[in-house]
Chains A and B, each alone.
Chain A
Amino acid sequence: MKVVPLRPKTTRSRRAAPPRTDRDLRARLRTLEADLERAKAKADHPEGLLVTLARFAHAGTRGLSWASLARLQSALYFAWHSEEVDEFGSDRRFTETLQPLFEFLYTVWWRVETAGIEHVPAEGPGLVVVNHSGVLPYDGLMVKLAIRQEHPARRDCRMLALDMFALLPVLAPLLAKSGSVRANPENGERLLEKHELVGVFPEGVKGVGKYFRERYKLARFGRGGFVRIALRTGAPIIPCAVVGAEEIHPMIAKADWIGRPLGFPYFPITPTFPALGPLGLVPLPTKWSIDFADPMDVSSYGPEAAEDPILVNRLSEEVRSVIQRMIDGRLARRRSIWFG
Chain B
Amino acid sequence: MGRIAVTGTSSFLGSRILRRLVDARGADAVVTVDIAAPPAALGGVRHQMLDLTLPGADQRLVDVLQDEEVDTVVHAAFFTSPRRDSSYGHELESIGTLHLVAAAAAAGVRHLVMRSYTAVYGARGQNPNFLTEDRRPDPNPSLGWVRDKLEAEQHALAFAKRYPSMGVTILRFATILGSGLHTFYSRILAKRVVPVVFGYDPLVQLLHPEDALAALEAALAKGPCGIVNVVPRDVLSLLTALHLAEKVTVPVPHPAAYALADLAWTSGIGAAPAGFVDYARFLFVADGEKAKRELGWTASYRSRDALGAYLAYRYPEKADPLHEAEA
Q: Which residues of A contact B (CB under 8 A)?
A: 43, 46-47, 66-67, 69-71, 73-75, 77-78, 81, 83-85, 87-89, 91, 163, 166-173, 176-177, 181-182, 184, 186-187, 190
Contacts and interface: CB of A to CB of B under 8 A. Distances in A.
Interface in B237-255: 237, 239-240, 243-244, 246-249, 253-254
A75 B326 contact: yes
B323 A88 contact: no
Contacts of A166: 125
B130 interface: yes
A67 B132 CA distance: 40
B325 A71 contact: yes
B247 to A, nearest CB: 6
A89 B130 contact: no
A77 B201 CA distance: 12
Contacts of B325: 71, 74, 78
A74 B193 CA distance: 13
Given A70-B192, A81-B240, A85-B240, A187 B128 contact: yes
Given A172-B200, A173-B201, A74 B323 contact: no
A169 B125 contact: no
B199 A186 contact: no
B235 A73 contact: no
Nearest to B303: A84
Contacts of B170: none
A167 B323 CA distance: 32
Contacts of A89: 129, 203, 235, 237
B326 A88 contact: no
A168 B126 CA distance: 12
Nearest to A76: B243
26 contacts: A46-B323, A46-B326, A47-B327, A67-B246, A70-B248, A73-B243, A73-B249, A74-B243, A74-B325, A81-B239, A83-B304, A85-B240, A87-B129, A87-B130, A87-B235, A88-B129, A163-B126, A166-B125, A169-B200, A169-B253, A172-B200, A173-B199, A173-B200, A173-B201, A181-B129, A190-B130
B236 interface: yes
A91 to B, nearest CB: 8
Contacts of B217: none
Contacts of B235: 85, 87, 89
A163 B237 contact: no
Contacts of A67: 246
Interface of B is mostly: loop
B240 A83 contact: yes
Interface residues of B, number: 34
A171 B198 CA distance: 11
B243 A190 contact: no
B326 A190 contact: no
Interface string B177-199: 00000000000000011000111
Interface in B298-325: 304, 323, 325
A311 to B, nearest CB: 25
B192 A84 contact: no
B272 to A, nearest CB: 21
A177 B246 CA distance: 21
Interface in B194-228: 197-201, 203
Nearest to A66: B192
Given A186-B128, A190-B129, 5 more contacts: A74-B244, A77-B240, A78-B326, A87-B234, A89-B129
A85 to B, nearest CB: 6
A184 B126 contact: yes
